[in-house]
Structure 1
């Protein structure tokens, strides 16, 4: 199956590029600030499915750049989904836990009420609504806490800081499932194939790593597997203010993804070991 991927340098797109039959598009091929251009690329493609792995992901900067975030995260995916629907091919769109308000402690179900806390989450929710309304075969795959051996992510930041310091304070009251980009890419490919065979599986799904942990405990595991001696002290979200508010509860219920596609939640600790091996010279 030939798959057209929007995104080229991002964490998931980099992993998708390793699959046979995948063509990844960078900004020179399709500028996400021009939804019409994205639509035209799909209209001209002979691919069997489209995956959108590109997004405006600068959560804090989105607070100041609302218009750009909305174009890239809401208008562009809506245009892509409409073009895919017109061609009769599946569209897989990666979304985020940030569409929820982070309340409570129960894992979020795919049909739970949304309530984004900031511009980034609101823009991603706008994209979800546009994709679902396009009338084609689609899957919205919400994920969380993405990490890999490339790009900007928590694992690489902790490795750098852990090599420089012997003590760190890390937020301990935000809980979620760290998710290896490699596993997200594999899930997207499997879902695209399944939708191609059975459009009735269209819908919104969740996919994140297990077990759920705090950022502080995630950091402790990174340091343990990296053989770095770093004393981690838990702090509250209020003690680490950011321009955009983060959800405290990013737990995602992924059972429908398992039942529909046979995709289990990956053990992020095993994924972390692989990433650290990739990062080791």
Structure 2
């Protein structure tokens, strides 16, 4: 039987928020080959196939994506290539190798009109190019027939890169007052939380796909922090945990007062019950995770 330390894990997007954390959390689950864009450009589909065939991983973990939501509205081709076509190629190569694929998707596959938390079986209806491209990626992976786990997450932030947390801290240091949307709701999810729970799930998987574990578990799972807030509530909590000498006043506004090129769902709440019931893992409350992330800065 193949030992866990003999398993090769190909990790994409290692310089991104989630990829950076995964490079650490996946240690101990195999030999991690962590590649940045210079070594694996998902926009080059021929390179993607070549690299996967050279590395011959038993597991591919793909957090890389085109995440510029507003830019995607005019950069449709790039969004589709990175978020739909590249995951499809990774899935095809995983199937050819007999490997498994872990991929990350988004709350933006939903239209945000449901009153409660979305579950995995709810109808999808993305309202922007980014959401449509991510949904196409999910569908391409499922169509490939490869062993896979797709984790849908939401409102991802971290202590590096570009995200709401760092934007608020930067603006808050220079301004006395900020206006933040208060009628969109979701669960701010720390990149470290995503990586830690992913590793916890993967530690339960067999190193080689013996028996029917992957057949029974392949599919879509929602993976977000617990609890719910608005962007306004998230901003207030950020400043509450921050060490800014003078903290700005955070004024609530309606989303209609802050128009963006890409439509955002009003409700991004997603239920984690399937994840908890299947793998026995449950994400921390978003405020608890935020406090830990701020302490780690």
Q: If the length of structure 2 is used for normalisation, what is the TM-score?
A: 0.90
2:230 is the alignment partner of 1:220: no
Deviation for aligned residue 1:252: 0.5
- 1:29-71 superposed Cα distances (whole Å, 9 cap, x missing partner): 2111122321222222243311101000000000001011101
Of residues 184, 188, 200, the one that matches 1:178 is 188
Aligned to 2:68: 58
Structure 2 match to 1:106 = 116
SS at match of 1:250: coil
- Residue 15 of structure 2: aligned partner: 9
Gaps of 5+ in 1: none
Q: Which deviates more, 236-245 or 266-275?
A: 266-275
CA contact (8 A) 1:16 1:22 kept: no
Q: 1:148 is matched with which residue?
A: 158
Q: How far 1:109 moved relative to its partner?
A: 0.6
Following TM superposition, by how much is the alpha carbon of 1:263 offset from its aligned partner in structure 2, in angstroms?
Answer: 1.6
Render the CA deviation track for 1:188-247: whole Å, top value 9, x for unaligned: 223334344621200100011121100000111111111442211111110000000111
2:218 corresponds to 1:202: yes
Shift of 1:167: 1.4
The answer for the alignment partner of 2:296 in structure 1 is 278
Gaps in structure 2 of 5+ consecutive residues: none
- Structure 1 residues 253-278: Cα deviation after superposition (integer angstroms, max 9, x where no partner): 11001111112022222222222223
SS in 2 for 1:17: helix
The answer to whether the 8 Å contact 2:56/2:97 transfers is no
- Does 1:116 pair with 2:134? no
SS of match in other structure, 1:168: strand
TM-score w.r.t. the length of structure 1 is: 0.95
Task: Tell me if 1:239 matches 2:250.
Answer: no
Distance in 1, matches of 2:33 and 2:160, equals: 19
Q: How many residue pairs align between the two structures?
A: 279
What is the distance in 1 between the residues matched to 2:67 and 2:174? Answer: 27
Counterparts of 1:124-143 in structure 2, within 5 Å, are 124-143=134-153
SS of aligned partner of 2:283: coil
Aligned partners of 2:122, 2:45: CA distance in 1, in Å? 29
